[in-house]
Amino acid sequence: MDSAYVTSKGQLVVPSRIRRRYGIKPGTRINFIEEEGQIIFQPVTPEYIDSFCGVFKQKAGEKSVVREHLEERQAERNRENRK
């Protein structure tokens, strides 16, 4: 188990073994997630972003949320124009 200390400025040095393993380089964005009394440290690397590829893909026959919103707005405008 690796450990580190927080500096007086609130900075945390990630041990080099962990940086290498997870591709953390200078400028890598880190998300901190609070979950059940724990803090999860999630580096936002290209591999992490690629893991979402296809997650939000539409199923056949489904309308996109944007398309639904545009259709609702058009229906509202049509109702307002009839008045």
Residue 16 lies in a domain: no
Q: What is the H or E stretch that residue 70 is in?
A: helix 65-82
Q: Find the domain containing 67 and state its range.
A: 23-82
Tokens read off for 30: 């880190």
User: What are the pLDDT digits (tens) for 6-30?
Assistant: 999 999 999 999 999 988 999 998 9
In this structure, which amino acid lies at residue 39?
I
Predicted local confidence at residue 59, as pLDDT: 74
pLDDT band, residue 53 (cuts 50/70/90) = confident
Residue 28 lies in a domain: yes
Query: Structurally, how many domains does the chain consist of?
Result: 1
In this model, does residue 64 exceed pLDDT 90?
no
